[in-house]
Amino acid sequence: MNLIQSNVKYYVGEILSKCHERKITIYYWIFNIFVLTLFLTGTFCILYYCYKRKPSNEELRQKMIMDQQYILEQIRFYQGQMKSSSEITDLPTTLDPIHVSDRTAIERKITERNGVYNPNIF
């Protein structure tokens, strides 16, 4: 004694199966669109951050001038050390001190590198 006929039971089962497949398909598409959106947003944010972090031409020029000044200060410091050490110990140095005209020529070559020349450095 069945309260439901066998063909009705089969029909309801098929409808529920199709509803389940449709629901899974919709969830599949929603998940894939969400992951794609998340990926594209992350990629865009990373590329935008890298673009904004890139220094401008003026910043690069200022950094180059600062580097040149640091190098010149180090050269002057070591030249001063060589002069002071030779005066204290009276030992001969193995390196000849750079003459004033040669030093200015070297300084100008350093500052003229890559087309940047700033006469106010000295």
Q: How many helices (H) and strands (E) does the chain have?
A: 3, 0
Q: What is the pLDDT along the chain (122 residues), one digit of tens a residue?
A: 567 777 888 898 899 999 999 999 999 999 999 999 999 999 999 999 998 888 888 999 999 999 999 999 988 888 877 776 655 555 555 555 555 555 566 666 655 555 555 555 54
pTM: 0.45
pLDDT of amino acid 71: 92
Q: Where are the domains of the chain?
A: 1-54, 57-121
| Cα dihedral value 16, 17, 20, 21, nearest 10 | -150
pLDDT of amino acid 93: 56
Please list, in sequence order, all residues whose beta carbon lies within 8 angstroms of the beta carbon of residue 65, skipping any fewer than 6 positions away. 116, 118, 121
Per the CB < 8 A criterion, the answer to whether 66 and 52 are in contact is no
pLDDT of amino acid 91: 57
pLDDT of amino acid 45: 96
pLDDT of amino acid 77: 86
pLDDT of amino acid 122: 46
